[in-house]
Amino acid sequence: AQTVTQSQPEMSVQEAETVTLSCTYDTSENNYYLFWYKQPPSRQMILVIRQEAYKQQNATENRFSVNFQKAAKSFSLKISDSQLGDTAMYFCAFMNNNAGNMLTFGGGTRLMVKP
């Protein structure tokens, strides 16, 4: 079974600054995907970024980038130029391609962007 751990229950950052959210996972699989999802107060789950485990290059999406360390089983999310609209819960998630594609979520990090 996979486990996903987010060690920071809450984080805060000043608007326009950079913040990094941590995520570690445990698996014996080689073929998997990692995700970061954002859940704003509306509670709609929004995909922020996705990383394929077989790719060494870190994924980036505009202000969002990841630091994927496969050997260390670490998958942190960096948010640059933080905006007030980034305030939300952020969930790290793991998908095992060989086991039905369901997501296993970390406990979440509540991010507050301060003006």
Partner 1 sequence: GAVVSQHPSRVICKSGTSVKIECRSLDFQATTMFWYRQFPKQSLMLMATSNEGSKATYEQGVEKDKFLINHASLTLSTLTVTSAHPEDSSFYICSARDQYGEKLFFGSGTQLSVL
Q: Site size for partner 1, by CB under 8 A?
A: 19
> Coil, helix or strand for 86?
helix
Among 21, 95, 111, 113, binds partner 1 (CB under 8 A): 95
Neighbours of 109 (CB within 10 A): 22
Residue 38 · residue 88 · CB < 8 Å: yes
Query: In the window 50-69, what residues touch partner 1 (CB under 8 A)?
Result: 50
Binding status of residue 98 toward partner 1 by CB under 8 A: no
Q: Which residues pair with 35 in a beta bridge?
A: 50, 93
Among 43, 85, 98, 115, binds partner 1 (CB under 8 A): 43
- Give the CA angle between residues 45, 5, 75 to the nearest 5°: 75
Query: In the window 11-40, what residues touch partner 1 (CB under 8 A)?
Result: 33
> Which residues contribute to the site for partner 1 (CB under 8 A)?
33, 42-45, 47, 50, 91, 95, 97, 100-108
